[in-house]
């Protein structure tokens, strides 16, 4: 396929490189990041989109997505598909989809899970909103960039799935870190706690696959001085998106709000910026009840 790729940072760069390695013709545009191997540089987002079968975007937020959509949609051929892989607010995802459809294009919101490692290895999971036809067009590209693509429903459903998933992730990580800090104060050995919880009703992804305690369980960022796999500020972004969506939908999410408040304090007032989101454990270790 002819692919335009807008946004070639830590995630977009390796995704575009994998598409080029698979034999697709990829033209990329980014205001700052270098061109990945095999990707031809375009002078603008519109130039990258011109003549493309699929235009993929990987951008920081909904405002930038809307601005890029204004540039690329007029340049895209009728019947092509705009596939946004950013994590943005549901309202922006739906607005861009409506804009694309009004111009005779297909549109997908397809945020990802798997981080930079998954982008590099081609093992991402895509949560996709949009039409069946647009999903069928982009499915072969999802198969190159990832290991799974789930069609979640109409426009905005992919973003909804992503922020609901990551609200669970943020809340669960805080609970896991709190529990390890409590176990320390109760004199319980961390490895024994892991052995119990990982095979009991406290089982969770944050415990079993991404344990925040160094030297316990499978290797995780905790074993690398909490250098990020998934940075705390990115978790804060997703938790804020979840609360923005909850407010719009009149949904009661007290644990999601509390997690957002704690990560805000950790990132903005403490030393959490630039650290993995599991670095909540040393934060709780240092704190008492008050």
pLDDT tens digits, residue range 167-220? 999 999 999 999 999 999 999 999 999 999 999 999 999 999 999 999 999 999
Residue 36's pLDDT is what?
96
* pLDDT, tens digit (0-9, with 9 covering 90-100), for 101-120: 999 999 999 999 988 889 99
Q: For residue 18, how many C-alpha atoms fall within 13 Å in the half-sphere facing its CB?
A: 22
User: Is the pLDDT score of 229 beyond 90?
Assistant: no
What's the alpha-carbon Rg for the chain, to the nearest Å? 20
pTM, entire model = 0.91
- DSSP-based three-state secondary structure for 212: coil
Whether the CB-CB separation of 130 and 154 falls below 8 Å is answered with: yes
Contacts of 278 (CB under 8 A, 6+ apart): 173, 177, 206, 210, 211, 212, 220, 221, 222, 226
Whether 162 sits among the annotated catalytic residues: the reply is yes
- CA triplet 31, 117, 179: central angle to 5 degrees? 115
Query: How many whole angstroms separate alpha carbon 120 and alpha carbon 210?
Result: 19
| Token output for 138 | 């982009």
From the candidates 21, 162, 227, 286, give the one annotated as an active-site residue. Answer: 162
**At 279, is the pLDDT very low, low, confident or very high (cuts 50, 70, 90)?**
very high
| Token output for 228 | 């990020």
């Amino acid at each position: 396929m002819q692919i335009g790729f807008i946004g070639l940072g830590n995630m977009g760069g390796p995704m575009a490189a994998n598409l080029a390695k698979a034999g697709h013709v990829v033209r990329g545009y980014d205001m700052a990041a270098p061109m990945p191997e095999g990707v031809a540089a375009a002078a603008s987002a519109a130039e990258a989109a011109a003549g493309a079968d699929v235009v993929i975007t990987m951008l920081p937020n909904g405002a930038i997505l809307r601005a890029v959509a204004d540039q690329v949609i007029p340049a895209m051929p009728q019947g092509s598909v705009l596939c946004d892989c950013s994590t943005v607010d549901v309202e922006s995802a739906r607005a861009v989809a409506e804009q694309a459809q009004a111009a005779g294009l297909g549109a997908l919101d397809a945020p990802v899970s798997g981080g930079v490692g998954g982008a590099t290895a081609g093992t991402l999971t895509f949560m996709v909103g949009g039409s069946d036809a647009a999903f069928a067009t982009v499915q072969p590209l999802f198969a190159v960039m990832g290991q799974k693509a789930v069609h979640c429903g109409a426009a905005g459903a992919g973003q909804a799935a992503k922020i609901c998933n990551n609200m669970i992730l943020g809340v669960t990580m805080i609970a896991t870190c709190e529990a390890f800090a409590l176990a320390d104060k109760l004199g319980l050995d961390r490895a024994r706690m892991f052995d119990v919880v990982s095979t009991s009703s406290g089982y969770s992804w944050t415990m079993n696959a991404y344990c925040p305690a160094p030297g316990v369980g499978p290797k995780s960022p905790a074993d690398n001085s909490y250098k990020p796999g998934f940075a705390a500020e990115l978790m804060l972004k997703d938790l804020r998106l979840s609360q923005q969506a909850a407010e719009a939908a009149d949904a009661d999410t007290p644990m999601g709000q509390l997690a957002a408040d704690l990560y805000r304090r950790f990132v903005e007032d403490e030393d959490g910026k630039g650290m993995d989101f599991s670095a909540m454990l040393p934060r709780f270790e240092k704190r008492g009840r008050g």
